[in-house]
């Protein structure tokens, strides 16, 4: 849609965007959400996609994903076989309710910063213990765990003018065993719940990350695989106010699905541990 209040678009921002930011500005990534609804409070767009940020970078610590990496590029990445979480990356990209245009233009950073409960890049990053690098307009940098970034439906910890520069997924998470379950009302529908279980290579722990069903990611962590009753109780203990309500499902429906999927994930990871 035409954004009729926009008077300026900065196509080539400085290599360290931020100091030029003022009220009425918005960072422009793929634009798939920015251009899909009215933005009467905005006057200027600053295009991040023009910046020469390497989309994906393997390092000794793990994988660095630039905020401007597109979902398409993430999907096309050639995963080394020892990075056992590769399948979760693919499934998270496929979880997008996306048209051809969204699939090709949407970025990892745009999805995370939009902070919708059904943001699949949020699911992926939170489940894999990712950390975010945030740049403030005054030049300062801070790091935050993906689990702590989203605070509610369409809400996060970004301060005015702050931007997400990159997502770092640690090596141990890339090598983790993963099991996931997702439910949507229709085959290509928006996620009602998206639950991921991870287990460190050679360990017996369980980290269960609940997303889409809750307004922000919720982590249930166990040093060793819990029994079914304990796990169910922990899901039931998630505060009522965190379960999300929208046309894709009531809070009760989402809690019910999460209980069910959590148990399936527990069994899947238990089976993999049998001698
Ligand atoms: C048909 C359709 C289906 C969709 N399905 C889904 C879905 O299933 N799940 C879902 O979560 N969303 C969905 N969306 C919403 C949106 O398209 C996606 O969330 C997409 O990933 C947003 O990425 P983008 O790069 O296009 O962001 P943009 O639209 O460019 O930006 C989104 C927001 O994030 C801010 N932003 C972007 N990059 C940064 C950055 N690096 N630092 C700080 N702020 C930044 C922008 O200022 C803006 O507020 C859908 C949209 C459409 C039109």
pLDDT tens digits, 176-199:
999 999 999 988 789 999 999 999
118 Cβ inside 6 Å of ligand 1:
yes
Average pLDDT over residues 220-247: 97
Structure token pair of residue 194: 């998206």
DSSP string of 101-139, one letter each residue: HHHHH-BHHHHHHHT-TT-HHHHHHHHTT-EEEEE-TTS
pLDDT band at 172 (very low <50, low <70, confident <90, very high): very high
Q: Which has the closest alpha carbon to 196: 85, 108, 273?
A: 85
Question: Does the pLDDT value for residue 227 go beyond 80?
Answer: yes
Question: Which pLDDT does position 15 carry in this prediction?
Answer: 85
Q: Which residues contact 226 (CB under 8 A, 6 or more apart)?
A: 206, 234, 266
At residue 79, φ and ψ (nearest 5 deg) are: -80, 130
- For residues 121-150, give the mean pLDDT: 98
Centre of ligand 1 from the C-alpha of residue 95, in Å: 14
Q: Kindly state the DSSP code that residue 248 receives in the 8-state scheme.
A: T
Cite the residue boundaries of each domain of the chain with CATH code 3.30.465.10. Answer: 56-172
Write out the residue limits of the CATH 3.30.390.50 domain(s) in the chain.
176-271
Task: Using the predicted structure, report yes or no on whether residue 104 has a pLDDT greater than 80.
Answer: yes
Assess whether the C-beta atom of 132 lies below 6 angstroms from ligand 1.
no
Query: 62 CB under 6 A from ligand 1?
Result: no
Q: Which atom of ligand 1 is nearest to the CA of 34?
A: 29
Instruction: Give me the percent of the chain exceeding a pLDDT of 90.
Output: 88
Residue ID of nearest Cα to ligand 1 atom 47? 27
Q: What is the pLDDT of residue 96?
A: 81
Model confidence, pTM: 0.96
CA–centroid distance, 100 to ligand 1, in Å, is: 14
Q: Where are the beta strands (DSSP E) in the chain?
A: 8-10, 25-28, 44-47, 56-58, 62-66, 131-135, 141-145, 150-152, 155-156, 163-170, 177-184, 191-199, 206-211, 218-222
Q: Is the pLDDT of residue 270 over 60?
A: yes
Assigned CATH topology for domain 56-172: 3.30.465
CATH code: domain 176-271 is 3.30.390.50
Strand partners of residue 220: 208
Q: Residues 19-43: what's their mean pLDDT?
A: 94
Least Cα distance to 222 among 252, 233, 172 occurs for 233
Token pair 């930011």 in the structure block, residue? 21
**Mean per-residue pLDDT, 266-270:** 95
- pLDDT for 18: 85
């Amino acid at each position: 849609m035409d954004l009729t209040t926009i008077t300026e678009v900065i196509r080539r921002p400085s290599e360290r965007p931020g100091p030029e930011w003022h009220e009425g500005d918005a960072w422009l990534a793929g634009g798939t959400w920015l251009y899909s609804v009215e933005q009467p409070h905005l006057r200027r767009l600053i295009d991040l996609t023009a910046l020469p940020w390497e989309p994906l970078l393997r390092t000794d610590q793990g994988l660095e994903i630039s905020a401007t990496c597109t979902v398409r590029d993430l999907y096309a990445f050639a995963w080394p076989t020892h990075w056992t979480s590769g399948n979760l990356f693919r499934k998270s990209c496929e979880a997008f309710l996306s048209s051809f245009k969204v699939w090709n233009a949407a970025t990892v950073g745009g999805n995370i910063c939009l902070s919708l409960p059904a943001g699949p890049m949020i699911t992926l990053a939170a489940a894999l213990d990712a950390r975010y690098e945030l740049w403030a307009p005054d030049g300062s940098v801070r790091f935050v765990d993906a689990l702590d970034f989203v605070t509610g439906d369409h809400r996060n910890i970004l301060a005015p003018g702050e931007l997400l520069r990159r997502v770092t997924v640690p090596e141990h998470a890339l090598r983790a065993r993963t099991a996931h379950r997702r439910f949507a009302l229709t085959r290509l529908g928006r996620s009602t719940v998206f639950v991921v279980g991870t287990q460190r290579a050679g360990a017996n722990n369980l980290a269960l990350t609940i997303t889409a069903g809750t307004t922000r990611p919720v982590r249930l962590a166990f040093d060793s695989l819990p029994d079914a009753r304990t796990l169910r109780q922990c899901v039931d203990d998630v505060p009522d106010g965190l379960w999300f309500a929208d046309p894709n499902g009531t809070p009760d429906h989402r809690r019910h699905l999460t209980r069910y999927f959590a148990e399936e994930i527990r069994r899947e990871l238990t089976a993999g541990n049998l001698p």
